[in-house]
Chain A
């Protein structure tokens, strides 16, 4: 595998990643490309990402979004990525169709919050209330997949997509080809 990647004569591509309404499982899967991360770092450098802890996205070649949109902050972050990234990729089931968080979509938001924070098995019922710190982003009434908010260039389904699928996809894209996954790497689960 090490020999398959040739050092690029061009500057490294800048890549930003983030997890919105996701579980970071897709980021764990990015780490699952294992020692090929070293090959990848020959080709790219990371901008905003949990790997760098950079807080805002600068101009990038590739943006990778995990998770759907469940609150106002998600919307801002997604729009920042779209504004800065030439190519935006939705990674994982939640970014693609809302995933598990979207299974709250048939329920009323206020009823959910009341159930969790006031009616549920909380420790101190007298002081129980729905968190309302102004720092907290407001939840949206429905969870949305990211293609409903901004234009998305590519989608990698899976929960999470395998490290191999991510590797296939990224290396094809970086090589300038239209990425596609072999049958064995295309999964919705």
Chain B
């Protein structure tokens, strides 16, 4: 099937009208031509074309969430979440520009000051997507005043540990538990600065839910909130997911690590 750019509606030998309509549209991303099928988001089309746009709350198995805003791009002068913005023919998208990179840096720094992200004592360090994004964006300092919120851990479950200090509210566990596991173990409660992850049991403890360590929700956290007990620090320093290779070089469809 031809991937070349063809004006909509123009007939091509060997392609039916559906192909022409659905595979021949494109937009530009940092000057490169990116083909897309209608319904795809800018982020998905870019991934298929081998271009990585940084993201945290987006996951290939789930619909766009649009909460972390890390996948922000500039489309015809406006800043939008590329995971939640449909690709459209002819639009000009800027992603790897100094302006957008700086905006992503600020978003990451705000995530770092909002929670308690003490990497040296975190089991997820080296395999954490927030940390990996920070490395990739050359973040040397959180820059802002740290919040140091009080978020007690939940160690009630025999096999799983919840350390809420590191939660970035991506809702991947919420979505996985509800849409894949069919258990709705997790939810976000309250709003704004009071927003926090809660466990849907009478006691509020994870031990009193029917979550299983093999559930999707127990294995999808991009940071160090949902951890499997007795497995911490098993991968040696230097061999962890993002020790040597940036997340931007392993986050594309054929290189997905998770």
| Chain A residues in the interface with B (C-beta under 8 A) | 90, 93, 96-100, 102-103, 105-106, 142, 144-145, 147-148, 152, 154-157, 159, 180-181, 183-184, 186-189
Majority SS at the chain B contact face: loop
B140-161 at interface with A (beta carbon < 8 Å)? 140-143, 145-146, 148-151
Most chain A CB within 10 A, of B112, B117, B119, B243, is at B119
Nearest first, the 4 A-B pairs at minimum CB distance are A159-B120, A188-B119, A106-B150, A155-B140
Most chain B CB within 10 A, of A98, A145, A188, is at A188
- Bound-state CA distance A100–B119 (Å) is 10
Complex A-B: 14 CB contacts under 8 Å: A90-B141, A97-B117, A100-B120, A102-B146, A103-B121, A144-B146, A148-B145, A152-B141, A155-B140, A180-B138, A183-B135, A183-B246, A184-B243, A189-B122
Beyond A98-B146, A145-B146, list 11 extra A-B contacts (CB 8 Å).
Answer: A90-B141, A93-B118, A102-B146, A106-B148, A156-B140, A157-B140, A183-B135, A183-B244, A184-B243, A188-B125, A189-B120
Q: Is the CB of A186 within 8 A of B138?
A: yes
B126 within 8 A of A: yes
Q: Could you say which residues of chain B place their CB within 8 Å of the CB of A186? A: 135, 138, 140
- Bound-state CA distance A189–B130 (Å) is 13
Q: Is the CB of A148 within 8 A of B146?
A: yes
Given A188-B120, A189-B119, CB of A157 within 8 Å of CB of B148: no
Min CB–CB distance B7 → chain A (angstroms): 43
B223-258 at interface with A (beta carbon < 8 Å)? 237, 243-244, 246
Most chain A CB within 10 A, of B135, B140, B237, B244, is at B140
Q: Could you say which residues of chain A place their CB within 8 Å of the CB of B172? A: none
Number of interface residues of B (CB under 8 A): 28
B209 within 8 A of A: no
Tell me the nearest residue of chain A to B117, going by C-beta.
A97
Q: Could you say which residues of chain B place their CB within 8 Å of the CB of A159? A: 119-120
Q: Could you say which residues of chain B place their CB within 8 Å of the CB of A144? A: 146
Q: Could you say which residues of chain B place their CB within 8 Å of the CB of A184? A: 243-244
- Bound-state CA distance A155–B134 (Å) is 14
- Bound-state CA distance A188–B237 (Å) is 12
